[in-house]
Chains A and B, each alone.
Chain A
Amino acid sequence: MPHIDVPAGLAGPRGLMVLRPETAGPLSEMAEVLLRGPSTLSRAERELIGTYVSSENDCCYCQTIHGAVAAHYLDGDEELVRSVKQDFRHAAVSAKMKALLNIAGKVQQSGKSVTEKDVAEARDQGATDLEIHDTVLIAANFCMMNRYVDGLAAWTPEDPQFYRERAVKLADHGYLGSASR
């Protein structure tokens, strides 16, 4: 049960965002720009970074919904999403993605855990400054959202089908105004 009174029936951050629309605006814009805006990283790749960080933070709602969105972009490949969460170094993703996921994992621990070696490895695999920047910010952003959702004990449904259906809406319509959609 949520720690505070939130509108019923809205899962994860949605109830919190309807309760507090003033902060919902910038939070939704961040998600929209980071995860769906123009980028040399695909939407699937960016959602995988968010999913991985959320699973490292043990945030059930966030890892499940963003994992479902990633799977949706990947033609339903839930197995790939699972393998990234469990052991990205042996998952069927590019060497560049593995290096970026490594950076994301370090950010999840602490900003200071990211070493020059981690960054050099990403560059060796072809990552640009912009891709490294966005990986760090996506990881940092999920460290915020995971704490927001779990810190207030937001409602986290258990049915995987719920997340698949919600993921289609997010993939089709994005994050702006998503709380009330």
Chain B
Amino acid sequence: MAHITLPEGLPGISGPMAFRPETAQPLRALAEILLRGPNSLTSGERELIATYTSSQNDCYFCQTSHGAAAAHHLGGNLELVDQVKRNFQSAPISAKLKALLAIAGQVQKGGKHVATDDIERARQAGATDIEIHDTVLIAAAFCMYNRYVDGLATWAPRDPEVYAAMGMRLAEQGYVNSPSVAAALETTV
């Protein structure tokens, strides 16, 4: 049960967002620009960074919903998402994305864990300043979202179909224009 009284039936972050729309607005805008805005990193890559960070933070709702969004961007490849979460160094992804995920992993532990070596490795693999900036901010932002979702003990559904539908909506309609996640629940029944 959530630590505060939230509207019924809204999974994960959508409950607190409905409870407090004033803070929901910048939270949605941030996710939209970070994960779907114009970028030399694809949305699939960015959702993988978010998913990886969330799995390191052991946040079930966030890793599963963003994992589903990542999979949708990557042609339905849930297996790849699982591999990235378990061991990204041996996943079939680019050297650049591996270097960026390593940076994300350091950010998850704490900002000061990011060493110049980590940055250098990313540069050598072709990462630009903006890609490094965005990787750090995506990882940092998910350290926020994960704490928000779990800090209020929000409800996380356990049905994978629910997340598949959520992932599709997030990938196709995004974080600002998409209807309440509760609508995704209705269409899967």
Residues of A within 8 A of B (CB): 3-5, 16, 19-20, 22-23, 25-27, 29-30, 33-34, 37, 57-59, 103, 106-107, 110-112, 114, 116, 119, 129-130, 132-134, 136-137, 139-141, 143-153
A112 CA to B62 CA, complexed, in Å = 13
18 A-B contact pairs sorted by A residue (CB < 8 Å): A19-B130, A23-B30, A23-B33, A26-B33, A27-B26, A111-B57, A111-B147, A119-B3, A132-B4, A133-B4, A137-B23, A143-B144, A144-B144, A148-B140, A150-B110, A150-B111, A151-B139, A152-B111
Whether the Cβ atoms of B151 and A136 lie closer than 8 Å is yes
Say whether B91 faces chain A, with CB atoms less than 8 Å apart. Answer: no
- Most interface-central of A33, A119, A132, A152 (chain B CB within 10 A): A152
Interface size on B, residues (CB 8 A): 49
User: Nearest chain-A residue to B20 (Cβ)?
Assistant: A133
Whether the Cβ atoms of B136 and A151 lie closer than 8 Å is yes
Please give, as numbers and ranges, the residues of chain B lying within 8 Å of A111 by CB-CB distance: 57, 59, 146-152
Please give, as numbers and ranges, the residues of chain B lying within 8 Å of A114 by CB-CB distance: 3, 150-153
Say whether B132 faces chain A, with CB atoms less than 8 Å apart. Answer: yes
Count A-B pairs with CB separation below 8 Å.
150
User: Nearest chain-A residue to B25 (Cβ)?
Assistant: A29
User: Nearest chain-B residue to A107 (Cβ)?
Assistant: B151
Whether the Cβ atoms of A30 and B23 lie closer than 8 Å is yes
User: Nearest chain-B residue to A34 (Cβ)?
Assistant: B23
A30 CA to B133 CA, complexed, in Å = 19
Residues of B within 8 A of A (CB): 3-5, 16, 19-20, 22-23, 25-27, 29-30, 33-34, 37, 57-59, 103, 106-107, 110-112, 114, 116, 119, 129-130, 132-134, 136-137, 139-141, 143-153
A145 CA to B107 CA, complexed, in Å = 11
- Give the contacting residue for A151; candidates B22, B107, B151; CB below 8 A: B107
Please give, as numbers and ranges, the residues of chain A lying within 8 Å of B30 by CB-CB distance: 23, 26-27, 30
User: Nearest chain-B residue to A135 (Cβ)?
Assistant: B151
- Give the contacting residue for B140; candidates A26, A58, A144; CB below 8 A: A144
A58 CA to B20 CA, complexed, in Å = 29
Whether the Cβ atoms of A147 and B133 lie closer than 8 Å is no
